[in-house]
Amino acid sequence: MTLLVVWIALWLGPGQVGMALAAEVAEVEKLFRRGKYAEVIELATPEAAAEKREEEWPRLLVDALTIVGRYADAATTASNAVTRHPRSVRLRWLASEAFRRTGDRPTADGLVEEIRRMVSAGSGFARDAAGIVAVGKVALASGSDPKDVLTRIFQIAEKSDPKLRDTYQARGDLALEKSDFDLAARAFSAGLEQHPEDSDFLCGLAQSLLSSDRPRAMESLEAALKANPHHVPSLLTLVDHSIDAEEYRQADTLLKEVESVNPRHPEAWAYRAVLAHLRNDSEAEARARVSGLASWTNNPAVDHLIGRKLSQKYRFAEGAEHQRQALKFEPTHLPAKLQLAEDLLRLGDAEGWDLAAEVHRRDAYGTTAYNLVTLSDTMAKFATLTNAHFIVRLNQREADIFGARVLDLLERAHSRLVGKYGVTLQEPTHVEIFDSQKDFGVRTFGMPDNPGYLGVCFGRVITANSPAANKGMPVNWEAVLWHEFCHVVTLQLTANRMPRWLSEGISVYEELQENGSWGQAFTPRYRSMIVGNELTPVGKLSGAFLSPKTPFHLQFAYFEAALVIEFMVQQFSHDAVRSVLQDLRAGKDIHEAIGARMEAMPQFETHFAAFALARAQGLAPGLAWDKPKTESVPGLPIKLTEWAKKNPTNYWALQERASEFLTAKKWQEAKEPLERLTQLFPREVGPESGWARLAAVHQALGETNAEYQVLSQWLEVDDEAPQACRRLMELATAREDWPTVVRNAERYLSLNPLVSLPYQQLARAQAALLQNPAAIASLQTLLKLDPANPADVHFQLARLLVTGDVPAARRHVLQALEDAPRHREALRLLAQMPSAVKPNAER
């Protein structure tokens, strides 16, 4: 006994010594949870070596030695503890993990086999809750169904001892490993109810929230490090986040903190290798990898982590090689096999589907593999469309309806962008379009719940939602595909070595170059943010995509990135932008490339901020933008109407006056403020723009000529206004202004090619313009959409075909009569056809 224990025994008496011992362990446990690892090792070393001491002492000592990187000492301590506590399953499992970290696989496997024999024998081991959790871990290592382990073994342990940390940690870790983030969050939250401020649980909760609620995840990590400033898992999670945000200096600083705790940590060295790769320092990368494998030379986790992070940077080929190396070390390492499957799929290699199926056969609980296998069955029914540059896969029905439009759009993007950027593409480009948002999410992210994304490019593979997946939200699918193909161009030009802000900025900028109504419009709110000094410094702009405050801030990040490209082109030329991309391919850092081709990054950021501010202040210069302020009504004065009248050129005043008149249905009065808005801010977009509301006023007043003009002007700047397209087609048809009908039908199809209306209008206009082949194609597509009056569509087709293809015309007229036997015009057309078989009029 230590002197402390002897003193407690004399003071309390032998009956209460056990309670005192527990209290003593608890105090050292508190030191451990606060990151006082050196003190824990000093206090626990003699206790762990003492005879007849409880197994918590060697457990604490092994954990502390492991955290600081003394892996061999941890293995020795654990082995000695097993000798002293031969019935402890928990210590045997702890020892097996300790020996595995030293690379001693035979000893580690032998200890696991001993546990199996003890469990099979049904006796000879301690059946406490901690032991039950250890049995569950052995069952997982032996290939048992993870769901059975969760619902049976771990659940039994939790009921046996609801306070035990091991159970919550095991449940949460298993759920994280299987990408079951909801279950992981519940497990760690339950653990925090029992152990508030526990850094392990706070970190686990953060990891489970990173993909769904990053701000809350960061708060949880902050709390974890407040409780334990030396908590290595939390520090490494922040390293991971910093690399994602391209804040590489911050990642380096955090790694130094990890190394101050454990200079031999394999994951820390793996992250070092990733950072060196991103700096194009192959020698440092190799040294870091070797250091990561120093303690355990065939540790698959090192290459798996390096490869996973490289793949997240779109270096899929390099990432796949690291997964293959991990699988050489351990062929059964499922995380590496699954990541390899995803890498190959993102490279357009169908072998990925087979690997995903293999992972699913071996692990039915893994949600990502299950999702991919299920998606594979769906995609097996997809149609495939090809040309010299593209392979497009999509639902068969959608392929029949607008597949040709997809190929035409992509081919146009190819002809415009490839030459402009001087790139030789690795062809073909694979494009996969999904009519289900969940399927798109699985193909793109491995998980179905990723709302907000319209398309993603991996360098050679594009995934996108079809219009059918964007229910209730008008989205220009042509602009989306143009945007994503621009990523193909720039990612291949740079060998995927470009910051996210630059990649997104160029794609949005090129949308606007192709069509002024595409891309991001300069809105009043964007103006307010820029004038209010809310620009993100260019060097940190990629982080704005990763952790936006709100969805709107994410949209602003896209807008700002495109504004940076506009600044680059105007101030330094498109050739300078292309040179920056070529420098990135050669391995230069973005700061270095901009400094060489444009100007040093500090000056660049200053000049861009001035450029953006000038653009914001120059938005609709005839309007005043100051908002009225009051304490009683934030943003608006009490006597708003009077204020609005006194500020006739103020944007907010004009909007308020218009709203007041529209609410009262004073259409004539509403025209004046709305007309002023459209004159002074002609590029405003959206359903609340001056254009949209002025068109509604003219329609209410029956002023069709004025409405026609307003709709025409509105649609020149706004590409996501389907109701405006519909109304303008209606007005243009009444005027027999067929070119306008064609133009707006095409606009409507760029939003939704899966409805009948635009094809009906398009066919009618094309026929009037004597564009018979185009009208025939429109009517044929219309038939595939189950129109309300198929007989009339067949008749229109027959009438167009009769002068060139009489047999086809006859088939269509007979189909018209089958649907509508008394269709007079169809009967008349059939009678006029050569060699026509006339129907029996009596029948």
End-to-end CA distance of the chain: 112
Distances (CA, A) of 247 to 254, 277, 312, 587: 11, 15, 15, 17
Q: Which residue do the tokens 């002007």 mark? A: 713
Say whether pLDDT at 3 is over 90.
no
Residue 637 scores a pLDDT above 50: no
Higher pLDDT, 484 or 117: 484
Residues 6+ apart with CB under 8 A from 633: 640
Q: Is it the case that residue 4 has pLDDT exceeding 70?
A: no
Mean pLDDT is lowest, of 53-62, 308-317, 394-403, for 53-62
Mean pLDDT of 648-657: 91
Largest CA distance in the chain: 120
- pLDDT tens track for 167-226: 999 999 999 998 889 999 999 999 999 999 999 999 999 999 998 888 899 999 999 999
Per-residue pLDDT, 108: 95
Helix axes 551-572, 601-617, angle to 10 degrees: 110
Taking residue 614's Cβ as centre, other Cβ atoms within 10 Å add up to 10
Average pLDDT estimate for 299-320: 96
What's the rounded Cα separation, in Å, for the pair 728 and 310?
50
* Residue 7 confidence (pLDDT): 27
User: Percent of the chain scored above 90 by pLDDT?
Assistant: 79
**383 φ, ψ to 5°?**
-85, 155
Task: Output the pLDDT for position 16.
Answer: 40
- CA 144, 150, 155: angle at the middle one, nearest 5? 130
How much is the pLDDT for 835?
A: 66
Which range has the worst mean pLDDT, 54-68, 544-558, 675-689?
544-558
Q: Which two tokens stand for residue 393?
A: 């896969």
**pLDDT on residue 843:** 36
Percent pLDDT > 70 in the chain is 94
Query: Mean pLDDT, to the nearest integer, of 339-360?
Result: 95
Whether the Cβ atoms of residue 68 and residue 262 lie closer than 8 Å to each other: yes
Q: Find the helix or strand (DSSP H, E) in which 432 lies.
A: strand 429-434
HEC states along 579-592?
Answer: HHHHHHHCCCCHHH
- Asked if residue 681 has pLDDT above 90, the reply is yes
Burial of 281 (0-12, 13-18, 19+ CB in 10 A): middle
Give the residue with greater pLDDT, 300 vs 14. Answer: 300
pLDDT value, residue 736 = 96
What pairing do the DSSP bridges indicate for beta strands 461-465 and 429-434? parallel
Contact 762, 742 (CB under 8 A): yes
In order of 86, 360, 365, 451, 630, the CA distances from 371 in angstroms are 43, 9, 11, 16, 53
Are the C-beta atoms of 179 and 167 separated by less than 8 Å? no
Give the integer Cα–Cα distance in Å for 75 and 85.
15
User: Tell me, what amino acid is at 513?
Assistant: Q
Q: Which of 117-126, 229-238, 256-265, 784-793 has the lowest mean pLDDT?
A: 117-126
To 10 degrees, the CA torsion angle through 538, 540, 542, 548? Answer: -110
User: Please, which pLDDT band fits residue 118 given cuts at 50, 70 and 90?
Assistant: confident
CA–CA distance, 416 with 518 (Å, rounded to integer): 16
Q: What is the DSSP letter of 650?
A: B
**Structure tokens that stand for 243 in this block:** 């690399």
Euclidean distance between CA atoms 685 and 692, whole angstroms: 8
pLDDT score of 8 more than 70: no
Mean pLDDT of 557-578: 97
| pLDDT surpassing 50 at residue 663 | yes
Res 14 pLDDT > 50: no
Q: Identify the pLDDT of residue 92.
A: 94
Lowest mean pLDDT among 88-97, 671-680, 740-749, 829-838: 829-838
Residue with token string 């030191």:
31
- With 50 as the cut, is the pLDDT of residue 746 above it? yes
The model's pLDDT over 771-804, given as tens digits with 9 standing for 90+, comes to: 999 999 999 999 999 998 999 999 999 999 998 8
HSE toward the beta carbon, residue 442, CA cutoff 13 A: 22
Residue 465: enclosing H or E segment and its boundaries? Answer: strand 461-465
Amino acid code (one letter) for 674: L
The β-bridge partners of 392 are 385, 431
> Contact 802/835 with Cβ under 8 angstroms?
no
The pLDDT score that the predictor gives to residue 124 is: 57
Contact of 707 with 731, CB cutoff 8 Å: yes
Please give the average per-residue pLDDT across 679-689, as a whole number.
94
The sign of the dihedral angle between the CA atoms of 14, 19, 22, 28 is negative
- On average, the pLDDT of the chain sits at 91
Residue 639: pLDDT over 80: no
The per-residue pLDDT for 11 is: 28
What's the token pair of residue 364?
């039915």
Cβ count within 10 A of residue 53? 21
* 3-state helix/strand/coil string of 727-780: HHHHHHHHHCCHHHHHHHHHHHHHHCCCCCHHHHHHHHHHHHCCCHHHHHHHHH
* Confidence at 64, pLDDT banded by 50, 70, 90: very high
Strand partners, 431: 392, 462
How high is the pLDDT of residue 640? 64
Q: Residue 834 pLDDT more than 50? A: yes
Q: What's the chain's length in residues?
A: 843
Hunting for tokens 């996501």 — which residue is that? 720
Residue 631: what pLDDT? 45
Residue 52 clears pLDDT 80, i.e. is over it: no
Residues 438-484: tens digit of each pLDDT: 999 999 988 887 667 899 999 999 999 999 998 778 899 999 999 99
Residue with tokens 């390096």: 306
Query: Is 333's pLDDT higher than 60?
Result: yes
Inter-residue contact 413 to 420 (CB < 8 Å): no
Tens-digit pLDDT profile for residues 509-520 = 999 999 999 999
Q: Are 423 and 578 in contact (CB under 8 A)?
A: no
